[in-house]
């Protein structure tokens, strides 16, 4: 027996070692539904190896970066000024585009909230350097220099500004493994942007991502963008994945695989972002960015095209700025509603009044009762004291002034502006039409029509008319009602109202924007 | 029979400074990870395999070669997302075979080294294919031309690397 062991010692050692590793493999093989990631001794071995390998990699990577930084920041500066100018122009252009998209984003958010969708917004990311790979083409794994100490956990999405990269796998204290989307064992829910075909993305044996098991569809064309669908509960929806490269039929011929050219350059990754926090609400910083971008875009637009003012630009502050919550505020903007944090959201703007009176605006048409058959219609003289405030809520100069002074495009500004500036006109005349006008909230029709009888033209109850500062005293209510009426039916400048409100007959222009 | 060992010196084992025994595998695994990041073609080269082969044919001790191969393989596994043991099993087998062959053939000859490395690279790919595809049931790419190219490149790099490692040999 002893001679047997001594004779076959080498083979026995080999067999024992192989058997032990096979058993180890069997233990590590994951069953479906089992949580990803390694545990216990396996994780410990990985941590040891990574702990040994990563410090020299960090050192070499940092050295390379330093050398490259010296070259790029101090030596290779040719054409930097020109490039800077080009980038500045590009930035201005992007700000304009961003501002135009900001409203769409807000609208999309509101609609999604209505429909119950759950959009995931990126709250917080951690930037990390890629310091290594698995070193074999059979395993598309990256090693990054951030770990659990930076808040990273397994299964967090890893992205670049170009597109998604993969997700974190095993996380150690100061390093993490990232499984790329090009690996055959990865998976991501994606959707084709134009055809809206959904599928699962994973790497093929050549290391190229592909959407597997897709029903054949002739609409799938090369170049179509692919984005994340959010269905995998890992990647936020809408992140760029890549573009369709080509469609390859599966061997059985019933389904096809869509090869995807990744948006992120997976073979040349140096820095990545790990999304460590996401949520369903648009982050405050992003909201501020959108608002700022809109304002900057308005400035750029005003600078380039002085004759055009962006009505949707946010307020800049100062005189004439009457944001939400300032409805009914007085000239000082210190009305009670201005302090009300629960003020209604801003409403769409009212178009500015015409600079010069013309013969085409409906406001120039006199009351039907004043018309004489055969008489030529001319521009009537306007008597401010005869102007019907409620029937013509925005027709006063004050309202116009409020609107024209407002640089922003929100309705709240216009609304507050017209109310706050309505001394002696709309707000001064009373609270008429508040209830009716409030029905118009949110459905503005800037058609330039006057208020119709029986609605905003109804007299104010119990003599609110004539009370100075009624617009202010109606804390966000009377004034707001006026403002809303003005906003809902923005009237042209200075209508020739000569009759009391309750006797106001139908006007020449039919009402518009009514419910 | 040019490949057969013809002298006592050729079948004798070599010795190296202990630092080489530690640094060579660590550097092989580390450089493999680092260089593959910056040079895509480096994924075709398997530095840990080359170190395993060199150690086996230099020491000519199957048991130690098996153990060293298994250790290097497991370290390589730790950097991938595969279960530990895939490279461990394959490199243990390669180490054992290389050490066994090293007793019988002239491993000082560059041509022999070239052929051995070429064959062992293909052998490791075959073992990996069997393990991953048929034992674990996971996808594994086996592309003939790709494997042959990789084996040829490894053989060429191996000859150079072995010559460099020969310089560290401790001579009495």
Q: What percent of chain A has pLDDT over 70?
A: 51
A138:B80 CB<8 A: yes
- Among A17, A137, A177, select the one facing B66 at the smallest CB separation: A17
Q: For residue B4, which phi and psi values (nearest 5 degrees)? A: -75, 145
Q: Evaluate if residue A394 carries a pLDDT over 60.
A: no
Instruction: Give me the pLDDT at residue A36, please.
Output: 58
CB of A245 closer than 8 Å to CB of A222: yes
Q: How many residues does chain A have?
A: 515
Using CA atoms, how far residue A270 sits from A135, A164, A209, A341, B21, in Å, is 16, 14, 20, 46, 32
Q: Where are the domains of chain A?
A: 84-119+280-314, 124-279, 321-515
pLDDT tens for each residue of A294-303: 677 777 767 6
Q: Which two tokens stand for residue A58?
A: 């960090």
How confident is residue A276, by pLDDT bands cut at 50, 70 and 90?
confident
Q: Evaluate if residue A337 carries a pLDDT over 50.
A: no
Q: What percent of chain A has pLDDT over 90?
A: 13
- How many structural domains compose chain B? 1
A61:B34 CB<8 A: yes
- Among B30, B100, B140, select the one facing A53 at the smallest CB separation: B30
Instruction: Give me the pLDDT at residue B52, please.
Output: 95
Residue with more model confidence, A293 or A473 = A293
Q: How far is B127 from chain A (nearest CA, A)?
A: 12
Residue ranges of chain B whose pLDDT lies below 70: 1-13, 171-172
How confident is residue A206, by pLDDT bands cut at 50, 70 and 90?
confident
Token pair 């018309």 is found at A371
Q: Evaluate if residue A166 carries a pLDDT over 90.
A: yes
CB of A440 closer than 8 Å to CB of A489: yes
Point out the least confidently predicted range of A19-33, A86-100, A492-506.
A492-506
B115 touches chain A (CB under 8 A): no
- Among A46, A53, A184, select the one facing B29 at the smallest CB separation: A53
Instruction: Give the DSSP H/E element, type plus range, for residue A58.
Output: helix A40-70
Please give the residue of chain A at the shortest CA–CA distance from B29.
A53
Q: What is the DSSP string of B71-92?
A: HHHHHHHHTSSSPTTHHHHHHH
| Direct distance between the N- and C-terminal alpha carbons of chain B, in angstroms, rounded to an integer | 29
Q: Evaluate if residue A260 carries a pLDDT over 70.
A: yes
In whole numbers, what is the pLDDT of chain A averaged over residues? 67
Instruction: Give me the pLDDT at residue A34, please.
Output: 61
Q: Which two tokens stand for residue A271?
A: 């820095």
A138:B132 CB<8 A: yes
CA distance B40 to A375: 88
Point out the least confidently predicted range of A116-120, A277-281, A350-354, A441-445.
A441-445
From the number of C-beta atoms within 10 Å of its C-beta (0-12, 13-18, 19+), residue A109 rates as middle
Instruction: Give me the pLDDT at residue A63, please.
Output: 86
Instruction: Give me the pLDDT at residue B121, please.
Output: 95
Beta carbons within 10 angstroms of residue A128's beta carbon: 23
Instruction: Give me the pLDDT at residue A15, please.
Output: 93
How confident is residue A233, by pLDDT bands cut at 50, 70 and 90?
confident
> Nearest CA to A396 among A368, A374, A373, A419?
A419
Chain center to CA of B104 = 18
> Nearest CA to A228 among A215, A208, A242, A218?
A242
Residue B7 lies in a domain: no
Q: How far is A308 from chain B (nearest CA, A)?
A: 51
Residue with more model confidence, A274 or A390 = A274
CA distance A86 to A261: 29
**pTM (2 decimals)?**
0.59
Q: Evaluate if residue A250 carries a pLDDT over 90.
A: no
- Per DSSP, what are the bridge partners of residue A261? A243
Residue B52 lies in a domain: yes
Based on C-alpha coordinates, what's the Rg of chain A?
Answer: 34
**Mean pLDDT, rounded, for A195-204:** 90
Q: Which residue, among A14, A19, A40, A185, would best test binding to B if mutated, counting the most B CBs under 10 Å from its CB?
A: A14
Q: Evaluate if residue A379 carries a pLDDT over 90.
A: no
Residue with more model confidence, A492 or A87 = A87
**Mean pLDDT, rounded, for A308-325:** 47
Residue B109 lies in a domain: yes
CA distance B2 to B110: 12
Q: Which two tokens stand for residue A492?
A: 């042209």
From the number of C-beta atoms within 10 Å of its C-beta (0-12, 13-18, 19+), residue A87 rates as exposed
pLDDT tens for each residue of B44-73: 899 999 999 999 998 888 999 999 999 999
**Mean pLDDT, rounded, for A393-400:** 40
ipTM exceeds 0.85, yes or no: no
> Nearest CA to A447 among A382, A380, A358, A361?
A361
Residue with more model confidence, A318 or A275 = A275
Q: Which domain holds residue B99?
A: 15-166
Token pair 């020491």 is found at B59
Using CA atoms, how far residue A377 sits from A219, A355, A364, A372, A511, in Å, is 61, 21, 9, 9, 20
Q: Evaluate if residue A490 carries a pLDDT over 80.
A: no
Residue with more model confidence, A52 or A397 = A52
Q: Which two tokens stand for residue A333?
A: 């903007």
CA distance A196 to A284: 30
Say yes or no: domain A124-279 is CATH 2.40.50.140: no
Point out the least confidently predicted range of A174-178, A195-199, A297-301, B89-93.
A297-301
Residue B8 lies in a domain: no
A21:B89 CB<8 A: yes
CA distance B66 to A34: 33
How confident is residue A277, by pLDDT bands cut at 50, 70 and 90?
confident
CB of B95 closer than 8 Å to CB of A20: no
Residue B80 lies in a domain: yes
pLDDT tens for each residue of A406-427: 333 333 333 333 333 433 343 3
Residue B51 lies in a domain: yes
**Mean pLDDT, rounded, for A441-465:** 39
Residue with more model confidence, A4 or B68 = B68
Token pair 């049931």 is found at B137
How does strand A225-228 pair with strand A240-249? antiparallel
How confident is residue A352, by pLDDT bands cut at 50, 70 and 90?
low
CA distance A408 to A412: 9
């Amino acid at each position: 027996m002893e001679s047997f062991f001594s004779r076959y010692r080498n083979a026995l050692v080999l067999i024992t070692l192989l058997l032990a590793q096979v058993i180890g493999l069997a233990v590590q093989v994951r069953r479906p539904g089992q949580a990803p990631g390694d545990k216990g001794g396996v994780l410990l071995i990985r941590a040891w190896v990574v702990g040994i390998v990563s410090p020299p990699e960090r050192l070499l990577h940092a050295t390379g970066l330093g050398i490259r930084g010296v070259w790029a920041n101090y030596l290779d500066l040719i054409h930097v000024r020109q490039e800077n100018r080009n980038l500045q122009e590009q930035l201005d252009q992007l700000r304009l585009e961003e501002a135009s998209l900001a409203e769409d984003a807000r609208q999309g958010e509101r609609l999604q909230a209505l429909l119950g969708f759950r959009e995931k917004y990126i709250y917080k990311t951690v930037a990390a350097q890629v310091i290594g790979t698995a070193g074999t083409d059979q395993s598309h794994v990256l090693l990054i220099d951030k770990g659990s100490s930076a808040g990273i956990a397994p299964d967090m999405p890893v992205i670049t500004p170009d597109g998604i990269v993969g997700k974190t796998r095993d996380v150690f204290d100061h390093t993490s493994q990232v499984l790329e989307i090009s690996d055959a064992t990865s998976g991501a829910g994606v959707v084709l942007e134009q055809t809206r075909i959904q599928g699962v993305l994973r790497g093929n044996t050549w290391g190229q991502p592909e959407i597997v098991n897709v029903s054949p569809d002739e609409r799938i064309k090369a170049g179509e963008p692919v984005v994340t669908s959010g269905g995998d509960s890992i990647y936020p929806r809408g992140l760029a994945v890549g573009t369709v490269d080509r469609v390859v039929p599966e061997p059985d011929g019933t389904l096809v695989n869509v090869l995807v050219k990744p948006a992120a350059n997976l073979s040349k990754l140096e820095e990545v972002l790990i999304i460590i926090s996401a949520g369903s609400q648009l982050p405050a910083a992003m909201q501020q960015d959108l608002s700022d971008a809109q304002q900057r875009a308005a400035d750029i637009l005003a600078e380039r095209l002085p004759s055009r003012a962006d009505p949707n630009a946010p307020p800049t502050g100062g005189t004439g700025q009457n944001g939400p919550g300032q409805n009914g505020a007085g000239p000082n903007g210190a009305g009670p509603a201005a302090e009300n944090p629960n003020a209604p959201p801003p409403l769409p703007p009212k178009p500015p009044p015409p600079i010069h009176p013309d013969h085409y605006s409906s406001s120039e048409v006199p009351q039907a009762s004043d018309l004489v058959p055969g008489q030529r219609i001319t521009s009537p003289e306007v008597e401010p004291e005869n102007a019907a405030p409620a029937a013509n809520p925005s027709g006063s100069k004050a309202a116009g002034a409020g609107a024209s002074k407002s640089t922003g495009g929100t309705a709240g500004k216009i609304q507050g502006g017209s109310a706050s500036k309505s001394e002696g006109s709309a707000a001064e005349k009373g609270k008429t039409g508040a209830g009716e006008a409030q029905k118009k909230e949110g459905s503005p029709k800037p058609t330039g029509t006057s208020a119709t009888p029986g609605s905003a033209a109804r007299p104010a109850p119990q003599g609110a008319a004539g009370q100075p500062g009624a617009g202010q005293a109606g804390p966000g209510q009377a004034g707001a009602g006026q403002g809303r009426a003005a906003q809902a039916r923005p009237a042209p400048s200075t209508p020739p109202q000569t009759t009391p409100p309750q006797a106001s007959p139908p006007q020449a222009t039919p009402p518009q924007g009514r419910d | 029979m040019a490949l057969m060992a013809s002298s006592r010196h050729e079948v004798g084992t070599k010795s190296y400074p202990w630092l080489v025994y530690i640094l060579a595998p660590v550097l092989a695994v580390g450089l493999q990870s680092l260089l593959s990041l910056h040079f895509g073609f480096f994924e075709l080269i398997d530095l840990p395999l080359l170190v395993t082969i060199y150690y086996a044919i230099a020491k000519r001790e199957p048991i130690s070669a098996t153990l060293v191969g298994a250790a290097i393989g497991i370290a390589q596994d730790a950097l991938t997302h595969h279960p530990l043991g895939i490279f461990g099993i394959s490199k243990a087998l390669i180490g054992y075979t290389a050490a066994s062959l090293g007793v019988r053939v002239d491993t000082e000859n560059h041509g022999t080294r070239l052929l051995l490395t070429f064959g062992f690279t293909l052998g490791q790919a075959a073992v990996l294919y069997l393990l991953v595809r048929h034992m674990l049931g996971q996808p594994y790419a086996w592309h003939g031309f790709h494997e042959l190219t990789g084996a040829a490149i490894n053989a060429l790099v191996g000859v150079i690397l072995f010559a460099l490692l020969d310089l560290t040999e401790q001579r009495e």
